[in-house]
């Protein structure tokens, strides 16, 4: 089966890049700070970054003392920017889908992934391959869209009052695990919905011990600075998990 490579679609890529270029977005306010707060000491560690995108994280891992970093991504457009703007002698960028990580030589102390796993059909297969690539007591940290988001496939996401203010999120078919096609810059963007329990049980059944789970939401400090994120009190956008090889 051909792997989805939506990020090499020119329209999608430019739309996505505009969001990430904004100084304040959901990634910078919620997802990235939590992901980095879960990191172990990276000094002397070998790192594998799945879906490394523009490579900013890879460069930061080197700055944090990593011995080596391998960043993989299926998108050539992403890797072009990574190599131009976030290169370092300790970083190797590879153009490949994460389903093929068994082809990478060697093993790693830490495997990381930022917002890529909801694009993966064979979640169980990739998790098992991550387990195999990790050294003893190796750490696996990843973020993904929250299952409360990935279950949404059509219709209005929010119920609003007469002024258009969001009252609550509309939830349906949460227990129906499926491929979901949605519109985000372009039509037919494929994501995969899995229940929270499926995600956790897949990790446990593959041999991982769950160390920490965070569903970030805005505290009073964030709300005072960025009141536009108040809708995240209804539901979190992201799920971030830290697991360790038993």
How far apart are alpha carbons 15 and 186 in whole angstroms? 9
Q: What is the pLDDT of residue 26?
A: 86
Backbone angles phi, psi at 234, to 5 degrees: -80, -35
Q: What is the mean pLDDT of the chain?
A: 90
DSSP string for 52-117: -TTSHHHHHHHHTT-SEEEEEES-HHHHHHHHHHS--TTEEEEE--GGGGGGS-S-EEEEEEES-G
Q: What is residue 156's three-state secondary structure?
A: coil
Structure tokens at 7: 């990020």
Structure tokens at 196: 């929270």
Domains and CATH numbers, the chain: 8-245 (3.40.50.150)
User: What is the torsional sign of CA 187, 12, 96, 60?
Assistant: negative
Say whether pLDDT at 245 is over 80: yes
- For the whole model, what pTM was predicted? 0.89
- 135 to 129, 131, 140, 237: CA distances (angstroms): 12, 8, 11, 31
**Cβ atoms within 10 Å, residue 73:** 26
How far apart are alpha carbons 27 and 33 in whole angstroms? 8
Q: Chain-centre distance of CA 198, in angstroms?
A: 17
Q: Is 155 exposed, middle or buried (0-12, 13-18, 19+ CB in 10 A)?
A: exposed
Say whether pLDDT at 28 is over 50: yes
**Cβ atoms within 10 Å, residue 153:** 15
What H or E segment, with its residue span, contains residue 173?
A: none
pLDDT (tens digit, 9 = 90+) per residue, 146-194? 999 999 877 888 999 999 999 999 999 999 999 987 655 445 678 999 9
The pLDDT > 90 percentage for the chain reads 79
């Amino acid at each position: 089966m051909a792997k989805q490579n939506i990020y090499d679609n020119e329209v999608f890529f430019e739309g996505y890049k505009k969001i990430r270029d904004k100084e304040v977005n959901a990634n910078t306010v919620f997802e990235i700070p939590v992901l980095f707060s879960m990191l172990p000491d990276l000094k002397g560690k070998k790192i594998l970054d799945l879906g490394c995108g523009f490579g900013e994280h890879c460069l930061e891992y080197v700055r944090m003392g990593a011995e080596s970093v391998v960043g993989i991504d299926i998108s050539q457009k992403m890797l072009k920017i990574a190599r131009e703007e976030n290169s370092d002698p300790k970083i190797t960028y590879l153009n490949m889908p994460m389903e093929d990580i068994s082809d990478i030589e060697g093993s790693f102390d830490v495997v990381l992934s930022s917002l890529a796993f909801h694009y993966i059909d064979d979640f169980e297969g990739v998790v098992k391959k991550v387990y195999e690539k990790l050294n003893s007591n190796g750490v696996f940290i990843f973020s993904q869209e929250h299952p409360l988001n990935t279950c949404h496939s059509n219709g209005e996401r929010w119920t609003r009052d007469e002024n258009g203010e969001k009252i609550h999120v509309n939830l349906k078919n949460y227990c129906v695990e499926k491929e979901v096609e949605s519109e985000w810059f372009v039509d037919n963007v494929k994501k995969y919905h899995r229940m929270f329990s499926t995600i956790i049980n897949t990790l446990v059944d593959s041999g991982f011990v769950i160390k920490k789970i965070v569903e970030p939401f805005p505290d009073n400090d964030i709300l005072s600075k960025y009141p536009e994120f108040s809708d995240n009190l209804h539901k979190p956008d992201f799920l971030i998990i830290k697991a360790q090889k038993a």
